Amino acid sequence: MSAARLPAFPFQVEAVDGAARAGSLHTPRGRVQTPCFMPVGTKGTVKAMPPARLRAIGAGIILANTYHLALRPGSETVAALGGLHRFMGWDGPILTDSGGFQVFSLKDTAVIDEEGVTFRSIYDGSKHTFTPERAMAEQRLLGADFIMCFDECPPAGASRDAVAAAVRRTEAWAARCREAHIEAGGAGTDGPQMLFGIVQGGVHEDLRRASVEGLVALDFPGYAIGGLSVGEERGATLETTEFTAALLPRDRPRYFMGIGDPAGLLDAIERGIDLFDCVLPTRIARMGTAFTAEGRLNLRNAEHARSTAPLEPDCPCLACTSFTRGALRHFVMQKEILGLQLLSDHNLVHLFRLVEGARRAILEGRFGSYKRTREAQSR
């Protein structure tokens, strides 16, 4: 293992309230205030959200997906087009996942060995092998600011032995990712890249602890908690998150992979998570469902057909400032693109405001009451 250090963007924890943290991550493309919800732009666009609008509503970091972009249009093509920032029309920070989660979840055909994973493309059935080195190379070509180690993410319900094997393999692969990244100078085609290690271990405390210890020995500048949004009970997820987050170095950002419901975000923040991502807000928007302080609202419900109320009072989003629930329902029922745009806008604005409120509350030492108030509203 190389003794060289991985590039890191400065991260400061500005305030702690219980386990909850408010911080700042100083990237070459701007400061990101944490906690921060990161919208997902799977194929290079956060669905239905123009980048200028994402910026206007306060998006900090956005995600893109190495699996999808490596297959379509290809990482070489993204690089030829100027790299991911130019490709996505987004000059703020971007994070790419490594493709591991998709390789394991999108196809039953994945064959795994110590070297990596061989799978068939969901686009054309062609055969591909992702190794830790290949995942790093793809992410260098894409050129995001934050990149992820290639990990093995076992399915929910996997046996303890299978989870233990995934922990061992994830650690071995993390060492290889680290090595490859250092060999490449710690940078992609578009500047320095901060590499996160991914903690696995399912809901087993000893395996999570082993995973953390293995990764921390490799001294990653940031750590992600993976493998917890694949079907477990929320209670077990939160217990594991609490336990795992407490083991992680306090001076490094912590990223919970794949949580995006309002209650879940507050639960994760409470347990010391700084970053989260999920397709949920934009995905349910496309199905006609809106987040509100009182819980989820399904616009397909006929009761909204003649409602002149906004989705939420006092919400500054494009939907709430200009449209009645009745009109929004019509757009949803008629599958009008504007309906997808407006509900995606609303759900992201709702989450950003929720997380921004959490950050203020942490800075002011009142996160507990903030969380209880929001939870009481949604019950």
**Active site residue: 17, 97, 267, 345, which one?**
97
Question: Rule CB under 8 A: which residues touch a copy of itself?
Answer: 43-52, 72-73, 77, 80-82, 86-89, 305-306, 308, 318, 322-324, 326-327, 329-331, 333-334, 336-342
Q: What is the Cα–Cα distance from 6 to 12, expressed in whole angstroms? A: 17
Nearest residue (CB) to a copy of itself, 126 versus 334 = 334
As measured in angstroms, the least distance from the Cβ of 174 to a copy of itself is 31
Instruction: Give the tokens for residue 317.
Output: 């989003």
As measured in angstroms, the least distance from the Cβ of 66 to a copy of itself is 15
The sign one gets for the Cα dihedral 7, 12, 17, 18 is positive
Nearest residue (CB) to a copy of itself, 322 versus 369 = 322
- Nearest 5°: phi and psi at 358? -65, -45
As measured in angstroms, the least distance from the Cβ of 20 to a copy of itself is 34
Residue type at 336 in one-letter notation:
E
Q: What is the Cα–Cα distance from 105 to 313, expressed in whole angstroms? A: 39
Do residues 146 and 93 lie in contact, with contact meaning Cβ atoms separated by under 8 Å? Answer: yes
Instruction: Give the tokens for residue 306.
Output: 């003649």
With residue 261 as reference, give the H or E element that holds it. Answer: none
Q: What is the Cα–Cα distance from 75 to 69, expressed in whole angstroms? A: 6
Nearest residue (CB) to a copy of itself, 198 versus 315 = 315
Query: Does 113 participate in catalysis according to the annotation?
Result: no
As measured in angstroms, the least distance from the Cβ of 38 to a copy of itself is 17
Do residues 7 and 221 lie in contact, with contact meaning Cβ atoms separated by under 8 Å? Answer: yes
Query: Does 206 participate in catalysis according to the annotation?
Result: no
Nearest residue (CB) to a copy of itself, 76 versus 183 = 76
**Active site residue: 151, 267, 274, 277, which one?**
277
* Catalytic residue ranges: 97, 277
